[in-house]
Chains A and B, each alone.
Chain A
Amino acid sequence: MRLSVTLAVAVLLLTGAGTAQAQESEIETLRAAVEELRSDYDARIAELERRLAVAEQNARQAKYAAQQSEGLQDGAAAGNAGRAAFNPAIGVIFQGQAWNFSRNPDDYSIQGFPFGGEAGPVDEGLSIGETELILNANVDDKFTAWLTVALALEDGEGVAEVEEAWVETTALPAGLGVKFGRFFSGIGYLNSKHSHSWDFADQPLPYQAFLGDQYLDNGIQARWLAPTDLYMEFGAEILQGSRYPAGGNAHSGFGSYSLFANVGGDVGGDSSWLAGVSYLDNSAIDRPSGDEDDPLVFNGDSKLGSVQFVWKWSPNGNWKQRNLVFQSEFFWRSEDGNYVLPGGAPLIYEVDQTGWYAQAVYQPIPRWRFGGRVDGLSSDDPGALFDNTALTAPSSNPMRYSMMADWSNSEFSRLRLQFTRDEAGPLDDTQWGIQYIHSIGAHGAHAF
C-alpha cells in the first residue's frame, strides 16, 4: 500500500508534463497521496507511543513491586496460612451472672401467663448460665452449616443441648435462600438474636410469655429478598411444632408455620431503620406450662402476630464513637382450645392477650452503654371456670422497668449491671444483677 503510493508519487513527478487540466488533477492526486502518507505515519507514531507508554508502565510497576517486597518477610504467605488455619471456624461464648431478688424467684409467676419453654427469672446468686460452643463453615460451593451446642449445668449435672444445627443454601438464584435444620424462627426482631447479643440479661415479657423466651424448632425456612434499594425481605417457615408455644408435633410433625416480612433503609447519613410484621401459627398437643412438676396442659390453636420497629442512630454513621438504638415490638396472641388443670377435666379456653416492650440503649463514648426498657402484658379473662387458677386474668397489667449499664473492653468482652423493678409477679420485686459475656475464637458478624 505504502509502496504503491510512493511509486505513484514518483511516477507523477517524473512524467511532469501535460495540459493545465492534467496538472490540476496531478496536484490533487499529489495532495491526496501526501495526506494519506501523513495519516498513515500519524497512526504508526501513535501506536509506537502507546507501546512505549505500556513498556514504561511495566518497568515502573516492576520497580515498585521490587521496592515493596524489600525488607518484608513473606507477609502474603503468612497471611494465607492464617486464613486456612481453622476450618470450621470455632468459637466459644462464656456467660455468667450473679442476681439478687427481693422475693424468692422460685415462687415467681405471672398471673394469667403460665410460662413455657425456657422462660422465667434467671437463677438467684452466682450461676454460669449457658456456655455456647459454635462451629460453622461452608459445606461446599452450595451450602453452609452452623452448629451451636449449649453446655449447661442442670441440678449440678452437665448437659449438652443442640441449640442450633442448620444448613443454609448459598447458591440459589434470584435472591432466594433456604435454611433447614434446627434454628431460631425468623419472626419478630429479637427471636433470632443469640442471647450473647441481647442488650439486657433477660428477654422482654412478651418473649417470655408468648415464645418461651425464644421460639426454636426444627424445620425449613425460605427467604426472598426483593431486588430493590429499599430493603424488603419476605420469609416463611414450616416447623415441627415440638416446643412452646407449640407442642406435641401436631399435624404429623408439621405443627407450626410462620410468615414474616421486613423492610428497612437509611435516613440521611446518621440513621437507619428496620420495620417488620410476622405471624406464627401453632397447634399444641398436651403442651405443658407453668409449674414444672404440676403443669397446666393446653390443647388447641395458638396464633401470634407481631409488629416491630428498630431505629439506630450514630453521628455520620461512625458507630464506634457514639450511637443510640431504639427498638419496640408489639405482640397479639389468640389461644383457642382447652386447658387441663392439675387433677381436673379439660376446660374451654378462648383468650386474646397482648404484650409489648420498648427500649433504648445509648453509647455516649466508646465502650460504655446505658439502657432502659419497659415491658408489659395484658390479657382477657378466660371466664369464671378459671377463677382462682393461674390462668385467670391479672387484676392489673403486669409491668417491668429495667435499666442497665455495660462496659465492653473490646468487641469480645462485656460486663453488665442491670436493675429491674418487677411489677409483673405476685409481689413487686426489686432485682439486681451483674453479668459477663466473653467470647474466644471465631465470632460471627452480628446482624442489624
Chain B
Amino acid sequence: MIRSICVVLFALLPVCAAADLEIFACEPEWAALATEIGGSHVNTFSATTALQDPHYIQARPSLIAKVRRADLLICSGAQLEIGWLPALLQKANNRKVLPGSNGYMEASAYVVRVDATGNVDRAQGDIHPEGNPHIQTDPRNIAAVARPLGERMMALDPENAAAYASGLADFLRQWHDAIDAWEAKARTLRGAKAITHHKSWVYLERWLGLEEVANLEAIPGLPPTATHLSRLTKQFEEGGADFIIRSPYQDARPSEWLSERTGIRAIVLPLTVGGSEQAQDLFSLYDDILDRLLKARNHE
C-alpha cells in the first residue's frame, strides 16, 4: 500500500524511499547476500535471474529505471557485465552508483581471482583479463564479499548501522558453520573429474578439489562446435570423467549429446540463487550443488 502511494506520488519519492536502502544487484547471489545482511532495512533487486547468461543482458528500460533509484549497486565485476552495465549507468543519471563512488561495488575486487592474465587476445575467446568473474561458486568468496558489503551498507545508511553490523555478524557465524558442514560432506568429491560447458565453475573446483578435465566450449564464450564435441567423445569414450556440468541457462544439447556417447552423467548445477527448485537462498544453493554432485558421483 505504502509503496503504491509512493509510485503514484513519485515526485515525493525521496521521502518515501528514505526508510530503506535501495540495492541494485547485477546477479541474484549478491541480492541474496544483501538481504541476509540488511534484512528488512533493504530493498534488493536483481537485474538478472539464474536462467539468464549474465554476459548477455539487454540494457532494458526497466533496469535503467531501477539503477536510477538505487543507493547501492553490487555486481560481480571483472568485466562480467561489460556488455550491458555501462549502458545502464550511462542512461540512469544516478551519480550515487557510478564507479568510484561508495554506492558502486564490484564483488570480485574483494576475492583472489583465478586466471587473471592482464591483457588478452580476443582470438582466445571471451576471456576476462581481470580473472574469472564467476566467483560465487566458492562460498568462502561470499564470506569475503559479505564484510565489505556490510560496511558499505553501514556507511550509506548510518541510521541502521547497528542492524547491519549484527546482520553481518549473524550471517558470517551461520555461514562459516555451513562451510564447515559442506566441506565435511563434500570430502568424497575430492579428486572427482569434471567436464564443464563454460569455465563457470573454477572456484567451486578449487574449493572442493575437483579436477576440470575439459570444457564443451572449444573457445570460451563461443558455442560448442561439432568438431570439438566429437574430439571429446573420442577422448572420453572409455570414461575418464565423473560428470558433465552445465548451468541452467546453457544449451542442454551439447552435454546430453556427449553424455549419450560416453556414458558420463550430465548434470545441471544452479550457478546462483534460483537456479533450481531447491536453491532458494545462499544456504540452499550450496546444499543443492553438493547434493547434485554427490548424487552423480555415487551414481544414484
A228–B95 touching, CB < 8 Å: no
Instruction: Name A447's contact: one of B78, B91, B114, B118 (CB within 8 Å).
Output: B91
Instruction: Name B122's contact: one of A78, A412, A447 (CB within 8 Å).
Output: A412
Q: Which residues of B contact A181 (CB under 8 A)?
A: none
Q: Shortest CB–CB separation between residue A341 and chain B, in angstroms?
A: 45
Q: Which residues of A contact B130 (CB under 8 A)?
A: 79-80, 82-83
**A40 CA / B242 CA spacing, docked (Å):** 57
Q: Shortest CB–CB separation between residue B216 and chain A, in angstroms?
A: 13
Q: Is B62 an interface residue (CB 8 A)?
A: yes
A-B contact count (CB 8 A): 188
Q: A60-B176, A319-B52 are in contact. Are A265 and B13 (CB under 8 A)?
A: no
One digit per residue, 1 when the CB lies within 8 angstroms of any chain B CB and 0 when it does not, for chain A 424-448 equals 0000000000000000100011111
B61–A78 touching, CB < 8 Å: no
> Which residues of B (152-204) have their CB < 8 Å from a CB of A?
169, 172-173, 176, 179
A320–B14 touching, CB < 8 Å: no
Interface size on A, residues (CB 8 A): 69
Q: A225-B91, A318-B52, A446-B87 are in contact. Are A231 and B59 (CB under 8 A)?
A: no
Q: Which residues of A contact B235 (CB under 8 A)?
A: none
Instruction: Name B125's contact: one of A85, A177, A224, A410 (CB within 8 Å).
Output: A410
A79–B173 touching, CB < 8 Å: no
B112–A231 touching, CB < 8 Å: no
Instruction: Name B66's contact: one of A67, A76, A229 (CB within 8 Å).
Output: A229
B113–A445 touching, CB < 8 Å: no
Which of A14-22, A165-173, A344-352, A372-380 faces chain B? A165-173
Q: Is B56 an interface residue (CB 8 A)?
A: yes
Which of A30-38, A252-260, A266-274, A285-293 faces chain B? A266-274
One digit per residue, 1 when the CB lies within 8 angstroms of any chain A CB and 0 when it does not, for chain B 226-251 equals 00000000000000000000000101
B52–A228 touching, CB < 8 Å: no
**A61 CA / B140 CA spacing, docked (Å):** 8
**A444 CA / B122 CA spacing, docked (Å):** 16
B68–A225 touching, CB < 8 Å: yes
Closest to A322 in B: B251
B93–A175 touching, CB < 8 Å: yes
Instruction: Name B140's contact: one of A64, A81, A273, A367 (CB within 8 Å).
Output: A64
Q: Shortest CB–CB separation between residue A260 and chain B, in angstroms?
A: 13
Instruction: Name A272's contact: one of B10, B58, B144 (CB within 8 Å).
Output: B58
B129–A367 touching, CB < 8 Å: no
Q: A79-B113, A79-B131 are in contact. Are A141 and B10 (CB under 8 A)?
A: no
A265–B61 touching, CB < 8 Å: yes
Q: A57-B176, A223-B93, A265-B61 are in contact. Are A320 and B53 (CB under 8 A)?
A: yes
**A80 CA / B110 CA spacing, docked (Å):** 12
Q: Which residues of B contact A64 (CB under 8 A)?
A: 140, 143-144
Interface size on B, residues (CB 8 A): 68
Q: Is B65 an interface residue (CB 8 A)?
A: yes
B143–A231 touching, CB < 8 Å: no
Q: Which residues of B contact A262 (CB under 8 A)?
A: 61
Q: Which residues of A contact B10 (CB under 8 A)?
A: 226-228
Instruction: Name A227's contact: one of B51, B59, B69, B114 (CB within 8 Å).
Output: B69
A272–B68 touching, CB < 8 Å: no
B53–A229 touching, CB < 8 Å: no
**A274 CA / B118 CA spacing, docked (Å):** 38
Q: Is A102 an interface residue (CB 8 A)?
A: no
B61–A274 touching, CB < 8 Å: yes
Q: Is A321 an interface residue (CB 8 A)?
A: yes
**A208 CA / B297 CA spacing, docked (Å):** 62
Q: Shortest CB–CB separation between residue B52 and chain A, in angstroms?
A: 5
One digit per residue, 1 when the CB lies within 8 angstroms of any chain A CB and 0 when it does not, for chain B 67-86 equals 01100000000100011111
Q: Is A4 an interface residue (CB 8 A)?
A: no
Q: A60-B176, A445-B82 are in contact. Are A409 and B14 (CB under 8 A)?
A: no
Q: Shortest CB–CB separation between residue B146 and chain A, in angstroms?
A: 10
> Which residues of A (107-160) have their CB < 8 Å from a CB of B?
141
One digit per residue, 1 when the CB lies within 8 angstroms of any chain A CB and 0 when it does not, for chain B 1-21 equals 000000100100110010000
Q: Which residues of A contact B113 (CB under 8 A)?
A: 75-76, 79
Q: Is B266 an interface residue (CB 8 A)?
A: no
Q: Which residues of A contact B86 (CB under 8 A)?
A: 444-445
A81–B82 touching, CB < 8 Å: no
Q: Is A264 an interface residue (CB 8 A)?
A: yes
B129–A79 touching, CB < 8 Å: yes
Q: Which residues of A contact B140 (CB under 8 A)?
A: 64, 67-68
Q: Is A400 an interface residue (CB 8 A)?
A: no
Instruction: Name A448's contact: one of B48, B55, B58 (CB within 8 Å).
Output: B58
B94–A175 touching, CB < 8 Å: yes
Instruction: Name A316's contact: one of B52, B84, B88, B144 (CB within 8 Å).
Output: B52
A266–B62 touching, CB < 8 Å: yes
Q: Is B258 an interface residue (CB 8 A)?
A: no
A316–B91 touching, CB < 8 Å: no
Q: Is B260 an interface residue (CB 8 A)?
A: no
B117–A318 touching, CB < 8 Å: no
Closest to B138 in A: A68
Q: Which residues of A contact B14 (CB under 8 A)?
A: 227
**A434 CA / B251 CA spacing, docked (Å):** 30
B65–A228 touching, CB < 8 Å: yes
B61–A231 touching, CB < 8 Å: yes
A231–B221 touching, CB < 8 Å: no
Q: Which residues of A contact B111 (CB under 8 A)?
A: 68
Q: Is B273 an interface residue (CB 8 A)?
A: no
Q: Is B39 an interface residue (CB 8 A)?
A: no
One digit per residue, 1 when the CB lies within 8 angstroms of any chain B CB and 0 when it does not, for chain A 186-209 equals 000000000000000000000000
26 interchain pairs, CB-CB under 8 A: A57-B173, A60-B179, A68-B112, A75-B131, A76-B116, A79-B113, A79-B129, A80-B130, A81-B118, A83-B130, A173-B95, A223-B93, A225-B91, A227-B14, A227-B17, A231-B65, A265-B65, A317-B48, A317-B51, A317-B52, A318-B52, A319-B58, A321-B249, A366-B251, A447-B87, A448-B87
- Nearest 7 CB-CB pairings of A with B: A264-B61, A231-B61, A79-B130, A82-B129, A75-B116, A445-B87, A79-B116
Given contacts A228-B7, A232-B65, 6 further A-B contacts (CB under 8 A): A76-B131, A175-B94, A312-B60, A320-B53, A320-B55, A445-B84
